[in-house]
Amino acid sequence: MGDFDLSVIIDNLPFLWQGLQLSLLLTFLAVVGGIVLGTLLALMRLSGILPLSLLSAGYVNLIRSVPLILVIFWFYFLVPLALGRPIGGFYSALIAFVMFEAAYYSEIIRAGIQSVRQGQVHAGQATGLNYWQIQRYVVLPQAFRNMVPILVTQGIILFQDTSLVFVVSLRDFMTVSSIVARTEGRLAEMYVFAALVYFVICFAGSLFVRRLQKAKTA
């Protein structure tokens, strides 16, 4: 480590920043899409309508039983076949992340919904609201307030998982760091820097989660 050269990091910062932007963008879009689809799956699971419940449960159990990298491969090769045209690595990866994360968010959201007291549901029924209206106006607002810390935690895990997009030739932060490490012949500098960036972002997210948990219990 005596010849540790910081200049290789400084000289390649614009390239590294492009990779980090891709990782952050993919994380943000996948979190939003995963929460939306996960909420729908959770509501289907709890609806009491057997076909919807079975469909949701089957999807969640299937997706959670396979590794993420396999799901990325599925959508990278299958989506273009279904559409009859290529859609690019970014959109294939995004669809894969949304579909994969939705299965995990679904279980988180289902637990959050079930944590809301039944008295709230009965009160909604007493006012004439149907199932979907009760969920939208009564249950989900309360459930999401309880779920925010764990939703953020899942988002942190997702940010780390974006490093898998190298398999579809996307240049995320980890891939870009590896490219610079190989081309410059400075593996120690680049991998230490990459680890530091991941640590800072994930640690900041963990501190945010702790703050949310303290605010919730205050």
DSSP string, the chain: -TT--THHHHHTHHHHHHHHHHHHHHHHHHHHHHHHHHHHHHHHHHS--HHHHHHHHHHHHHHHTS-HHHHHHHHHHHHHHHHTS---HHHHHHHHHHHHHHHHHHHHHHHHHHHS-HHHHHHHHHTT--HHHHIIIIIHHHHHHHHHHHHHHHHHHHHHHGGGGGGGT---HHHHHHHHHHHHT-HHHHHHHHHHHHHHHHHHHHHHHHHHHHHHH-
Note the pLDDT of residue 174. Answer: 93
Q: Parse the chain into domains and list their residue ranges.
A: 24-173
Q: Is pLDDT at 27 greater than 90 in this prediction?
A: yes
Superfamily of domain 24-173: MetI-like (1.10.3720.10)
For the entire predicted model, the pTM comes to 0.87
Note the pLDDT of residue 171. Answer: 92
Q: Is pLDDT at 196 greater than 90 in this prediction?
A: yes
Give tens-digit pLDDT for 121-157: 788 888 888 877 888 888 888 888 888 888 889 999 9
Q: Is pLDDT at 190 greater than 80 in this prediction?
A: yes
